[in-house]
Amino acid sequence: MKKSTIIEAPVKVETAIEGFDYLTLGGLTKGRNTLVVGTSGSGKTLLGVQYIYKAITEFNQSGIFITFEERPEDIMRNVFKLNWDLNQLVSENQLRFIDGSPEPHQQEEIGSYDLSGLFVQIEHFIKEIDAKVLVIDSIGSLFTQFKNQGVIRSEIFRIINFLRDLGITSIMTAERLDEYGPITRFGIEEFVSDNVIVLRNVLDDEKCRRTIQILKMRGNKHLQGEFPFTISDEGISIFPLASIELKQESSLDKVGTGNEELDKMTHGGIFRDSILLVSGPTGGGKTLMGTMFAAESCGRGEKVLILAYEESREQLLRNAQSWGLEFKQWEKEGLLKIICKYPESMGLEDHLLSIRNAIQEFEPKRLIMDSVSAMERVASVKNFREFVIGLTSFVKQERICSLLTSTTPQLSGGESVTEAHISTITDVIVLLRYVELHGFLRRGIAVIKMRGSQHEKQVREFEIDHTGLNIGKPFKNVENIILGTASSTSIPEKDSLGDMFSK
C-alpha cells in the first residue's frame, strides 16, 4: 500500500520564554528541530534548559535533555539558583537526562559504529515519560568525542528525522567561533537548516551585549534583526523593544504635576498615560519637580515608584523632609517606594528588567526616574536608545504616568543624547534653564511640547526656596531665553528692568 503524505503548514508552539514567542511570532515550530548557535558563554545551554523547564512547568509537556557537554548534575546545579528544581521534575517523571558528557579519557574506536545506543535511550525515555520536547546540548561536543565525523553528521541527520517522525519539538545547540563568522563550526546547519537561531555576546563600546536573532524559520514568519536579551534570576528574557505595540487607549484624564502654576501652564496637568520629560542643567530643579510630582501622587493615595540614579535614599528623604514632605510616612503606608541604584551596577538590559519587575510587583500609578541621562554613561548610544524605548513603551503599556528627568550637558541647556532619543517618545517636555540677564543668573521654565493638549507658550521665571519651586511671571522683552543666548530687545534698560516681569 502506498503511504500517503499529508502536507501540513508548520504550526508553532509557545515556549513561555519571555519575549521569545513574540520574536518568533508564536514560538518554536511544532514537531521540528531548531538549531541554536552561539559562541561559548552565549547562553545556549540556558536557553535549552529554560525551554524544557517551561515546557514541563507551563505546558505540562514532558521532556528529554541530552547533554554532550556538561554533566547532568552540573546543569541541575547551575539552574537551581534560578529556583528551577530539575531534580524534582525527574522524580515526577516529567524530565529525563541522557548523559553523553565526555568520559574522563578518550574512548578507543576500533572499526565502525553508529549512535544507536543514543537512539535506544531516547526511545526508551519517550515511551517512559511520554516526552513531547527534547533538547540536545551541544552537537559540537559530539564531534570532539567521536573521531568519525561522517558518522556523526549522518547520525545527527537521523536523529532529527526520527524526532520529526514522532512529532517531537526539539532544540539542538551548536557552537561557533566568531560572533559574525560561519554559522557553526561543523557546517551542520546545512542539513538541519529549517530553523536557525543565533545567540551573541558581543562587546559593544566596552559593554557586553547579548542579542538573539532568528536567522530563519522555514515556512513561518518571524521578526528580523538582533534583539537584546538578558540573563537574570528568571533566566533568559528577550526584549523585542522596537516592536512593542502602543495599543493602549489614550486617556483624557489629567493628573496634577505637583505644582499649581505648572498645572496652569499645561492647562490642567498632564494626561494620565503620558510621559513627562523634565530637562535641565545640574541643580536646575529637576529632582525637586520629581519630588513634588511624587508628593502629589501620594497626596491622592496613588502609589508612586521613584527610581533614583543620582542621589542616595538618605539624600532624597532628607531633601523631601526639608520641603515638608513626609516620604518616610508614605513609604510606611506603602504609597511610596524608592529604589536607588548606581547606573554602573548592571547592564541596561538588567536595569530594564529590574525596573519592570519592580513595577509589576509594586503596581505604581506613577513613576519617577531621576535621571534617565545617568544611564547614558553606562551604555553605547544604540544600547541606550533601546533602553529608553523599552522603558517608555513598557510604562505606556502599563499606563503609568511617568516623569523622567534629563540633565543637560551645559548650564544654559544644550541637547543631550537622552533628549535626542527620548523627545519623540515623550508626550510633554518641560525645560528648566538658567538665564543670564543683566548680570543676574535667573531661572526660566517653559513647556515646549504637549501632545494632545494646549499649553502655555511663554517662558516663565521661577525660583526655588524653602517652599519649593515657585513659578512666577513670564519673561518679557527678552528673546532666545531657552533656545539660545538670552538678549533683551531694544528697549531702554531703565524700562526693561521695571518692565521685565510686568503684570
Partner 1 sequence: MKKNKYILFITGDTELSQTAKDSVRKISNSYEKGLVDIEVIDLIEHPQFAIEYGIIATPILIVMKPHTIEKIVGSLTDIEKVKRLLK
Alpha-carbon span 154 to 119, nearest angstrom: 13
Task: State the nearest-atom distance from the C-beta of 241 to partner 1, in Å.
Answer: 42
Task: State the nearest-atom distance from the C-beta of 108 to partner 1, in Å.
Answer: 5
Task: State the nearest-atom distance from the C-beta of 163 to partner 1, in Å.
Answer: 16
Task: State the nearest-atom distance from the C-beta of 98 to partner 1, in Å.
Answer: 8
Alpha-carbon span 447 to 245, nearest angstrom: 27
Alpha-carbon span 402 to 368, nearest angstrom: 6
Task: State the nearest-atom distance from the C-beta of 3 to partner 1, in Å.
Answer: 23
Alpha-carbon span 139 to 299, nearest angstrom: 60
**Exposure string over 64-88, b if 16+ CB within 10 A, otherwise e:** bbbbbbbebeebbeebeebebebee
What are the φ/ψ torsions at residue 167 (nearest 5 degrees)? 70, 30
CB-nearer residue toward partner 1: 18 or 69: 69
CB-nearer residue toward partner 1: 107 or 410: 107
CB-nearer residue toward partner 1: 152 or 320: 152
Spatial CB neighbours of 78, under 8 Å, sequence gap ≥ 6: 45, 49, 70
Question: Contact at 8 Å (CB) between 171 and 38?
Answer: no
Alpha helices in 198-326 (DSSP H): 260-265, 286-299, 313-322
Task: State the nearest-atom distance from the C-beta of 134 to partner 1, in Å.
Answer: 15
Task: State the nearest-atom distance from the C-beta of 107 to partner 1, in Å.
Answer: 5
Task: State the nearest-atom distance from the C-beta of 53 to partner 1, in Å.
Answer: 22
Residues near partner 1 (CB under 8 A): 98-100, 103, 107-121, 123-124, 146
Q: What is the dihedral of CA 136, 139, 144, 145, to 10 degrees?
A: 30
Look at strands 304-308 and 336-340 and give their pairing.
parallel
Question: Contact at 8 Å (CB) between 159 and 152?
Answer: no
CB-nearer residue toward partner 1: 108 or 165: 108
What are the φ/ψ torsions at residue 353 (nearest 5 degrees)? -65, -40
CB-nearer residue toward partner 1: 112 or 322: 112
Q: Is 215 helix (H, G, I), strand (E, B) or coil?
A: strand
CB-nearer residue toward partner 1: 93 or 243: 93
CB-nearer residue toward partner 1: 73 or 333: 73
Torsion over CA: 145, 201, 208, 53 (sign): negative
Q: Please give the grid coordinates belonging to residue 342.
A: 548606581
Element (H, E) at 397: helix 381-397
CB-nearer residue toward partner 1: 71 or 451: 71
CB-nearer residue toward partner 1: 121 or 220: 121
Task: State the nearest-atom distance from the C-beta of 165 to partner 1, in Å.
Answer: 18
